[in-house]
């Protein structure tokens, strides 16, 4: 028994000596990490390549890094948005090394791919134009449920209902069409009537990114892009099936100013609610086939009187890769909407109610109420004949049915009192990469607008408008030097306004950009 006790004591002493010896060999590195303005940086990664040991800084920017043994090490400090720093140290046995870091900020290049400005994929920093990109991550973070909410944070862009104004170039063009062009995966979505941009045509949950070209795009897209271009890029089908359910709700505050309450139906005491729901499903249907479908509902009473919206929307995308050289996509969409448009207010003392103007024997109202249906059919075919060429063919069909609502009775009028319109067209585009000689893009497009409307009558007195238009376009891009990029192009359009009037337009374009550094292009 005594031998067992002595043996245990001897083993414990040996283990204690070994532990003391290992602890004595360890080395501590501690210090403070700050930015170049002197502020402490929490969450910075501190590590050494030798031994794969690391830690992070606390909320006060300090850290303690324990190394397994004495020796030579390279201690590194890194954080997102800051330049990584490295310091070589020699640590002795039992030594505590004090090592502080100062991390300068750096500009991170996002590398978005933009197709709007020159009809081909290229980095945003290489495009000689001002472009803003709204990513799907931003849309999710802001819980954007409509296009106007997604574009609200784009600088230089103002919106009023479905009217878009970029940098004040075109203003709000009510009942005269839009001067900002909406593209859906590169396909034009011009409305058959003279309504504005069809912002409700696409569910935000299936948007990969939104690209906004701030400036004239007429040289490539025609007069509809006089003020700029908004290109909505949709998502592809995922490798694994995904289903997403979304529901939301909220309310606008009640009317609080006494003068505004006077003409409010309920005295302005009730909250004005908005609600909505959406379901999305995407999946791969085969080795080279897949797609997604999205169904949504939205109701918004608006913060203004007579500004309510009810909307039901369905959209689907089908993609098929027939071969490594051939890809086809099809977008299908439909929308049903009841919308009260608030056009202008009733004076400074009654800004939340629509006004009225007495013109001769009529009294136009400051609101416009209607039921509208929209449908779209957008197939795209891409063919790669060789590694340096791409041929893209797009077809488009976009239709609207508008039935006005009587302001006095609230009854829905027939289509004969409203608008029935279809816009259809096609285009073929060829892109050639010519190496040091630059890149050439050329193509032709055809569109026709067939609309029967009681609102708009052509100069020859016909309510049935059929306005075909044909265009050819071309553009060259190249590098004059390593820092200077040049762009030159033109577009020729032929429009037939009616049976007796035609218009032709030539839209040239010349642009240059100068790269001043990794983070600046002029």
Mean pLDDT is highest, among 84-93, 180-189, 345-354, 377-386, for 377-386
Residue 147 tokens read as 């296009």
Contact 54, 67 (CB under 8 A): no
What is the average pLDDT across 114-130? Answer: 69
* Residue 63 CB-half CA count within 13 A: 27
Residue 360's pLDDT band (cuts 50, 70, 90): very low
12 pLDDT band, cuts 50/70/90, is very low
- Give the CA angle between residues 236, 242, 248 to the nearest 5°: 100
Beta bridge partner(s), residue 298 = 276, 311
Q: Which CATH class is domain 17-103?
A: mainly beta
The average pLDDT across 402-426 equals 81
- pLDDT at 278 (0 to 100): 93
Instruction: Please provide residue 164's backbone torsions phi and psi, each rounded to the nearest 5 degrees.
Output: -120, 135
Residue 5: what pLDDT? 46
pLDDT value at 176 more than 60: no
Q: Is residue 317 very low, low, confident or very high in pLDDT (cuts 50, 70, 90)?
A: very high
Q: Does the structure show a pLDDT above 50 at 236?
A: yes
pLDDT digits (tens, 9 = 90+) for 441-451: 999 999 888 87
Q: Are 184 and 331 in contact (CB under 8 A)?
A: yes
CATH class, range 113-521: mainly beta
Residue 335, SS3 per DSSP: strand
| Mean pLDDT of the 205-217 span | 86
108 vs 257: which has the higher pLDDT: 257
Residue 423 has pLDDT above 50, yes or no: yes
Give bridge partners of residue 419 from the DSSP assignment: 402, 453
Given a cut of 50, whether residue 375 has pLDDT beyond it is: yes
Q: What is the mean pLDDT of residues 54-67?
A: 86
All structural domains of the chain with their residue ranges = 17-103, 113-521
Question: Cα Rg for the chain, rounded, in angstroms?
Answer: 32
Give the mean pLDDT of 203-216: 87
The mean pLDDT value of the chain amounts to 80
pLDDT tens readout for residues 463-510: 555 678 899 999 998 888 878 888 899 999 998 877 678 889 898 988
The answer to whether the CB of 342 falls within 8 A of the CB of 352 is no
- CB-based contact 488:510 (threshold 8 Å): yes
Residue 382's pLDDT is 93
Structure-model confidence comparison of residues 434 and 110, the more confident one? 434
Lowest mean pLDDT among 136-150, 155-169, 318-332, 492-506: 155-169
pTM over cut 0.85: no
The answer on pLDDT for 328 being more than 90 is yes
Given a cut of 80, whether residue 454 has pLDDT beyond it is no
Q: What's the rounded Cα separation, in Å, for the pair 430 and 18?
A: 75
Tokens, residue 120: 């081909």
Highest mean predicted confidence (pLDDT) among 93-102, 365-374, 400-409: 93-102
Q: Which two tokens stand for residue 271?
A: 């909250």
pLDDT of 425? 92
Give CB contacts under 8 A, 24+ apart, made by 169-173: 169/215, 169/216, 169/226, 169/227, 169/228, 170/226, 170/227
Length of the chain in terms of residues written: 522
Structure-model confidence comparison of residues 327 and 306, the more confident one = 327
Distance CA 188, CA 230 (A): 10
């Amino acid at each position: 028994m005594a031998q067992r006790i002595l043996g245990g004591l001897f083993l414990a002493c040996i283990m204690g000596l070994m532990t003391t010896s290992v602890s004595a060999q360890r080395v501590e590195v501690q210090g403070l990490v700050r930015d170049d303005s002197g502020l402490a940086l929490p969450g910075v990664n501190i590590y050494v390549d030798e031994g794969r040991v690391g830690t992070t800084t606390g909320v006060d920017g300090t850290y303690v890094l324990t190394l397994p043994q004495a020796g030579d090490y390279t201690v590194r400090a890194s954080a997102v948005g800051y330049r990584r720093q490295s310091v070589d140290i020699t640590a002795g046995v039992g030594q505590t090394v004090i090592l502080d870091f100062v991390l300068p900020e750096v500009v991170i290049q996002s590398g978005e791919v933009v197709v709007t400005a020159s009809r081909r994929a290229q980095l945003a920093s290489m495009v000689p134009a001002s472009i803003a990109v709204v990513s799907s991550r931003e849309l999710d973070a802001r819980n954007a449920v409509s296009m106007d909410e997604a574009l609200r944070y784009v600088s230089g862009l103002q919106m009023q209902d479905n009217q878009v104004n970029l940098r004040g170039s075109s203003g709000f063009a009510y009942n005269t069409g839009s001067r900002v062009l909406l593209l859906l995966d590169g396909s034009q979505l011009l409305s058959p009537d003279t309504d504005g941009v069809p912002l409700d045509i696409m569910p935000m949950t299936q948007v990969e990114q939104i690209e906004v070209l701030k400036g004239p795009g007429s040289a490539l897209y025609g007069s509809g892009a006089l003020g700029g271009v908004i290109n909505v890029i949709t998502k592809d089908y995922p490798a694994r099936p995904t289903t997403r359910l979304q529901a939301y709700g909220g309310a606008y505050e009640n009317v609080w100013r006494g003068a505004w309450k006077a003409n409010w139906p309920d005295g302005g005491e009730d909250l004005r609610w908005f609600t909505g729901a959406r379901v999305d499903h995407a999946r791969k249907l085969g080795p080279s086939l897949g797609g997604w479908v999205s169904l949504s509902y939205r109701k918004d009473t608006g913060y203004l009187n007579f500004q309510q919206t009810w909307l039901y929307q369905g959209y689907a995308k089908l993609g098929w890769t027939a071969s490594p050289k051939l890809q086809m996509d099809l977008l299908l969409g439909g929308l049903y909407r009841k919308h009260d448009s608030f056009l202008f207010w009733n004076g400074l003392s009654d800004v939340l109610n629509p006004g009225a103007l007495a013109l001769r024997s009529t009294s136009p109202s400051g609101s416009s109420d209607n039921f509208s249906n929209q449908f779209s059919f957008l197939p795209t075919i891409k063919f790669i004949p060789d590694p340096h060429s791409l041929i893209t063919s797009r077809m488009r069909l976009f239709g609207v049915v508008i039935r006005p609502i009587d302001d006095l009775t609230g009854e829905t009028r027939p289509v004969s009192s409203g608008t029935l319109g279809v816009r259809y067209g096609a285009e073929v585009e060829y892109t050639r990469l010519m190496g040091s000689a630059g890149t050439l893009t050329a193509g032709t497009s055809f569109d026709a607008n067939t609309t029967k409307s009681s609102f708009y009558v052509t100069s020859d007195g016909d309510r049935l408008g059929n306005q075909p238009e044909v265009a050819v376009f071309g553009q060259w891009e190249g590098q004059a030097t390593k820092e200077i990029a040049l762009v030159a192009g033109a577009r020729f359009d032929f429009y037939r306004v009616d049976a007796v009037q035609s218009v032709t337009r030539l839209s040239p374009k010349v642009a240059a950009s100068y790269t001043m550094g990794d983070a600046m292009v002029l």
